[in-house]
Amino acid sequence: MIILGIESSCDETSAAVVKDGKLMSNVTATQLFHSKYGGVVPELASRAHQLRIIPVVEESLQKAGVRKEELSGVGAVYGPGLIGAILVGLSFGKSMALGLGIPFVGVDHMEAHLFSNLIEDPKPSFPFVNLTVSGGHTQLVYVRGPFDYQLLGETKDDAAGEAFDKVAKMLGIGYPGGPLIDQYASKGDPSFVQFPRPYLSDDSLEFSFSGLKTAVLYHLRRIGFAVNGEGSPEAHEKLLSNLCASFQAAVVEVLVAKAIKAAEVTKVRHIAVAGGVSANSELRRRLRDAASNRGYDVFVPRLEFCTDNGAMVAMVAYTKLQKGMTSSLELTAEPGLSLE
């Protein structure tokens, strides 16, 4: 069985081929131009997906050494995400399936992130807890098996990645903020400012990052922070590093504590992390330390499967098709789709 998977829900146009459960190719075109606007511009994202969808799909087939006539099915994301962006990949996937006379499989983007640790070895075994941390989402999910999930908790306001992006904007260091804050933080002192740890002592598995973002803003006002820096460039660089390290420490402490708590509550042995923020070096380090002290194994995908990608979509579509789960060609985009 050979499946093509398409992802277009935000700013990555990506396509991948899975053959008999094995990933054959994964081609991703990232829309870097959004950085000059400080965030993803939905209209521009849709247009860029339109321009890139055909070359990305063609390249994924070519790299896999597969002709489109050999495909057994096509999967595409139908939500959640930006409606105009989703529609490009979804319509393309449905049209391709119709033209080739093969089944179409609609894929939930958040479900796809749960599969990003199931693409290649080492894989977590069921049941496991998955922490999905991206620009749009922060969720803890109990994964009993494929398509058998329980949402344990999620953010009540901003997503973790969104907080990274917004704080980076306040600091004037660029977009996307996560990787930049990660870099600055590696040279900074995490105890420079004690920012709040939202819900840390709370027994719930919910998150909230909006208050932390505001705490950073108030701190910057209090110290009279200037984006362009006052004093020497070295002093400004040092200040940025310390602020980034302090902010990152607050986010990471909460994410790690809640992930461990979720594993305790569900009595699993395996903790998986997915989504763009799982690229964060401090999160990886802290979670691995905290988990190994308590006997849990941590799974984090390769970088290309952390951020949005077609491979995780193709993997969901392959597993669904194996179980005979197909979608109607009437399936439409659901920007607010939720896991349960």
Which residue is associated with the tokens 């131009």?
Answer: 33
- Is 276 among the residues that bind ligand KG4 (CB under 6 A)? yes
Q: What's the rounded Cα separation, in Å, for the pair 94 and 73? A: 10
Nearer to ligand KG4, 18 or 312 (CB): 312
Which of 91-99, 123-131, 145-153, 276-284 is the region at the interface with ligand KG4 (rule: CB under 6 A)?
Answer: 276-284
**What contacts 113, CB < 8 A, 6 or more positions away?**
130, 132, 134, 137, 274, 275, 312
Element (H, E) at 168: helix 160-171
- Which residue of 242, 307, 319, 327 would you call a contact of ligand KG4, by CB under 6 A? 307
- Which residue of 7, 108, 158, 182 would you call a contact of ligand KG4, by CB under 6 A? 182
Q: At what angle do helices 233-266 and 210-222 cross, to 10 degrees?
A: 160
- Is 76 among the residues that bind ligand KG4 (CB under 6 A)? no
Q: Compute the least distance from the CB of residue 307 to ligand KG4, in Å.
A: 3
Q: Compute the least distance from the CB of residue 331 to ligand KG4, in Å.
A: 20
Q: What's the rounded Cα separation, in Å, for the pair 24 and 17? A: 5
Nearer to Zn ion, 112 or 243 (CB): 112
What is the distance, to the nearest Å, from the Cα of residue 157 to the centroid of all Cα atoms in its chain? Answer: 16
* Residues forming beta bridges with residue 129, ordered by sequence position: 142, 271
The DSSP symbol for 125 reads P
Mark 199-238 with x for binding to ligand KG4 (rule: CB under 6 A) and - for no binding.
----------------------------------------
Residue 182 binding result from ligand KG4, Zn ion, none, given CB thresholds of 5 to 8 Å by partner type: ligand KG4
Binding site for Zn ion (CB under 5 A): 134, 308
**What contacts 183, CB < 8 A, 6 or more positions away?**
none
Mark 113-142 with x for binding to ligand KG4 (rule: CB under 6 A) and - for no binding.
---------------------xxx------
Contact predicate 196/250, CB 8 Å? yes
Q: Compute the least distance from the CB of residue 218 to Zn ion, in Å.
A: 30
Contact predicate 103/2, CB 8 Å? no
Residue 301 binding result from ligand KG4, Zn ion, none, given CB thresholds of 5 to 8 Å by partner type: none
* Residues at the site binding ligand KG4, with contacts judged by CB under 6 A: 10, 134-136, 161, 164-165, 176-179, 182, 275-277, 279-280, 307-308
